[in-house]
A and B are shown apart, each in its own frame.
Chain A
Amino acid sequence: MTSRDRVNTAIKGKQPDRVPVWCLLSLEHIINWGTNDGRIPKTIEDLVKAECNLARRYHFDGSLVYLPGNKSGTRVDSFIGKTLTETPQGDSSHIFETADPEAWQKNIQPYQPEDFYSSHLTREILGNDQHLGGWAADGYSRALQWFPSLEDALLAMIDDPPRFKALVEYFDEQSVAWARAQIELGQLESIQISSPYAGSSFMSVEMYMQFVLPSVRKLAQAIKPVGGAAYLHTCGSISDRLETMAETDIDGMECMDPPPLGNVSLKEAKKRVGSRIFLKGNIDSVNVLLQGEDETIDKTIRKTIAEGMPDGGYILSTACSVSPLVPPERVCRLWELADQFGQY
């Protein structure tokens, strides 16, 4: 079985030859360990090469293209530098009370094949045997980020739900266009639906159903007809909403943070939703891979493999992204132990 077949089989909820391995990498991890000199990559080509270096080094069966929609030669150093060092500030000219999201709907621009050069380059470097995915934030998360602050956004959501929902729907349309283009023009195979503000620290299950679920569902339902798989990425505590999340028509779910960052038990998640969607993650990148002793790391990875692999539909991965300072040899233990203990 190729890596691609392995991931695609797990995505379908089936049993591949062994548990596939595929982690999301943080941008700083890519820079720290994927480049030759630890400096910020200047062009999109440099960034893609750094990502591919690590995907090979870690024996990943799949890779997520960090910046999937970029033309050849695009300078990314300034963008990456800002992402890493500057305070993300909302644009205070965004005034919720006078916003007209319905009028904005007309302004969504179509994408062109050349917009996805970075995805094509990743494929060229890693070859056809690798599963490649992209990502898109759900409309809800994008709406939240449109506000000057998270506090403003959450209060607007409660104060004026119809207008807030219209805003989410506008961003839904943008996200749908972006996600579909990654599959159709970028020839990627899966889309990670990034939905970070939807755990129980942020909202109740009822609020999730009202504001987030329709947004995620719309995106998931738009990705499938163009041949892509959709999986949901939500950090933190989500144990109280696993079934609700599975109702969004996603193919799978990523993160599933265990304590202390979250509250998900993989064993329990397999029982509750494992027959409906594939699962990916559950290894704490910070408290286990970065701060744990070697023995703890191996024990945790082996336990995770044992809990995730029964009946297939599981991809071995860190919960959220591999944090910046995790040494590469520790990330390698995922593949080494999957190869040893994750064979079906």
Chain B
Amino acid sequence: MAFDKQVHYELAANSVIDGNQERAVELTQEALDNGITAKEFLDNGLISGMDVVGARFRDGDMFLPEVLLAARAMKAGMELLKPELSKTNAKSAGKVVIGTVNGDLHDVGKNIVIYMLEGAGFTVIDLGVNVAMETFISEVKQHKPDILGLSAFLTTTMPAMEKVIESLQENQLRKQVKIIVGGAPVTECFANEIGADAFAEDAGTAVIVCKKMTKNG
């Protein structure tokens, strides 16, 4: 039976949606063996599956454990693609530096955003929790990301977001990076007030917004 690319992409996407790690690896290997380029398979197979996961999660049709399984399947496939991708210098969807602001130890929401962004093909540098303002600045200088993501779960730590933005301005870095903010108490109004470029109320929306900001959406 002839190898059908479209069918193979669909199977790969479904393996990610189903969180079937073994199947995702198997299909990735088969794709490479049949001459599909890593970039093509990533975009049309694995990422395509993760896009569905993102949409279903946003709509409440999929839940966190299933998203984690899907992200794990996607990452397993990605491992096989990495050597090929690095050879061809395939571009990622964009580079995102992300962290929970100073004084705040919550990371569940931020981590979900990371899984979803990685699933959508973004390169993500996770700074973790309780990230000092100076660290955000130095990491932006070092990595030159397209987007900086700031997360806060507490009303008491939300003002730290504004301080990071102010500091980026003082360091002449504000124009080179888009800023997205999020977290339970954060609202669009607050995002506008502090001068962020975007706000996302959930991880699925964060991916859509990041794609728009990098013009991949």
Binding site for B on A (CB under 8 A): 28, 86-88, 150-151, 154-155, 157-158, 200-204, 207, 240, 260-261, 286-287, 290-291, 323-325
Contact = CB atoms under 8 A, between A and B. Distances in A.
Given A155-B65, A203-B63, A261 B184 contact: yes
A203 B68 CA distance: 12
Contacts of A290: 155
A325 B111 contact: no
Interface of B: 19, 60, 63-66, 68-69, 72, 105, 108, 111, 129-130, 154-156, 184-185, 187, 201
B201 A150 contact: no
Contact of B64 (A88, A202, A287): A202
A292 B6 CA distance: 53
A236 B18 CA distance: 26
B129 to A, nearest CB: 6
Nearest to B130: A87
B84 to A, nearest CB: 27
Contacts of A154: 64-65, 68
Nearest to B201: A260
Contact of B65 (A158, A240, A260, A287): A158
B63 A207 contact: yes
Given A87-B129, A207-B63, A151 B111 contact: yes
A198 to B, nearest CB: 11
Contact of B63 (A88, A151, A204, A323): A204
A201 B130 CA distance: 23
Given A290-B155, A291-B155, 8 more contacts: A87-B130, A154-B68, A155-B72, A158-B66, A158-B69, A202-B65, A260-B201, A324-B154
A261 B187 CA distance: 11
Nearest to A290: B155
B11 to A, nearest CB: 21
Contact of B105 (A88, A157, A324): A88
Given A323-B155, A325-B156, A150 B108 contact: yes
A324 B155 contact: yes
Nearest to A151: B68
A240 B187 CA distance: 24
Contacts of A86: 105
A154 B63 CA distance: 11
